[in-house]
Structure 1
């Protein structure tokens, strides 16, 4: 049995393997992926890394996963990564190596555009966003779960904007963003206070969007992003 890789980037090994199988036709829609255990053993990574790669593929709409046992359990291929999706897969693999400052700057540009578009759209649908806000308000929510919901919230805003290019770019950067955000959480002494602050900021951003206040929504989302990275000591404070 190969040694298990504990590197935080081990999920990339899994993603690259499945990407190759999809692009070269070794895996096709309707076929099932090997089990988490088999992939972990074959590739020498932990099962958590396998789950991370599968989650990325599910967000992209390439696979569907089902818990439990039996013929319907596991991950099944539901789409083939053609054209832009192939590029997006490669972005996911590359994004983990991007400099943090570049990721933060790109995230600000994208999310600024998202909230500007949403605040100007009277027909916006934020039901998914509100559901995530409610989930993030649960008592004693572990930091890892909170941050997973946080990433989902920002992605849901991008989806609600209706801009498919921005949505694809956010999906492509999502794992890199989550990785940096989780690393920052470990540096924050009072996580409960930070979670309370982030909840308030999320609600303020959504309130500004729903009020049609574009200027406020843009200012709030930019501050929300930069302040977290600064508080976590990931980027220097601006003077």
Structure 2
């Protein structure tokens, strides 16, 4: 809580004016060093795979204590920006952010917060219609082949709940990958397995629901094959929101 110190000052005519001074917060040395190194890494001024100077050199160059340097390096390692190598030639190696960095962070967040099923499904509803639209626009022959193959797997597993759900997740992810948008791919990869885990129950996916899912999947696959972004988005929006409503009614 910010503490304020009031001071009185006599103005002309005897009136008093009061002013307050916010207490100045000085950042920790480790935070300052971590911020500087983080910026150097994400801006690419320190190359991926490059070894940082050892603790003693960093302390000498920065003018900070070795304990502050050690704390800063530990912070960046937790963030996934550094990897510690052991051995004679060991030290801190730069590891620039990747899609896996996002996936691991979001997965950890979902697990630690025990995110509700409805939140996961709503996140899909926000992402997947746009991904389907982009997939219809940018899909390659290989993308179409993958989407079609996963759809066929889904049809072949209508009587096998686990096989059906795995094929379902793979089909959705194939469409997101076909969008060729790194952020959408990272976000969906972050939640896909959690969605699978919490929906892998019979009462959420009875035979009638599976039949409806298979039918709309076929329509969306056809729209993407045909290169129709508007139709692919419309169908996917209707599909994921219908499932979200179904989850709300039966969960």
In the alignment of these two chains, the number of paired residues is: 161
Question: What stretches of structure 2 of length at least 5 have no aligned partner?
Answer: 1-77, 87-93
Secondary structure (helix, strand or coil) at the match of 1:224 reads: helix
The structural deviation recorded for 1:140 is 5.7
**Could you report, residue by residue, the CA deviation over 1:138-157 in whole angstroms, capped at 9, with x for unpaired residues?**
15641011101111111111
* Cα distance in 2 between the residues matched to 1:153 and 1:24: 34
Q: Where does residue 97 of structure 2 map in the other structure?
A: 83
Question: What stretches of structure 1 of length at least 5 have no aligned partner?
Answer: 1-19, 28-79
**Could you report, residue by residue, the CA deviation over 1:79-105 in whole angstroms, capped at 9, with x for unpaired residues?**
x97524234212112224223333222
Q: Which has the higher strand share?
A: 2
* Cα distance in 1 between the residues matched to 2:136 and 2:119: 26
Q: Which has the larger radius of gyration?
A: 2
Q: TM-score, normalised by structure 1?
A: 0.58
* Cα distance in 2 between the residues matched to 1:123 and 1:162: 10
Q: Where does residue 146 of structure 1 map in the other structure?
A: 164
Q: TM-score, normalised by structure 2?
A: 0.55
Q: Where does residue 90 of structure 2 map in the other structure?
A: none
Whether 1:199 aligns to 2:214 is: yes
Q: Where does residue 223 of structure 2 map in the other structure?
A: 208
**Could you report, residue by residue, the CA deviation over 1:51-88 in whole angstroms, capped at 9, with x for unpaired residues?**
xxxxxxxxxxxxxxxxxxxxxxxxxxxxx975242342
Q: Where does residue 125 of structure 2 map in the other structure?
A: 108
Matches within 5 A, 1:1-239: 25=84, 83-84=97-98, 85-96=100-111, 97-121=114-138, 123=140, 125-138=143-156, 141-183=159-201, 185-188=202-205, 191-231=206-246, 234-236=247-249
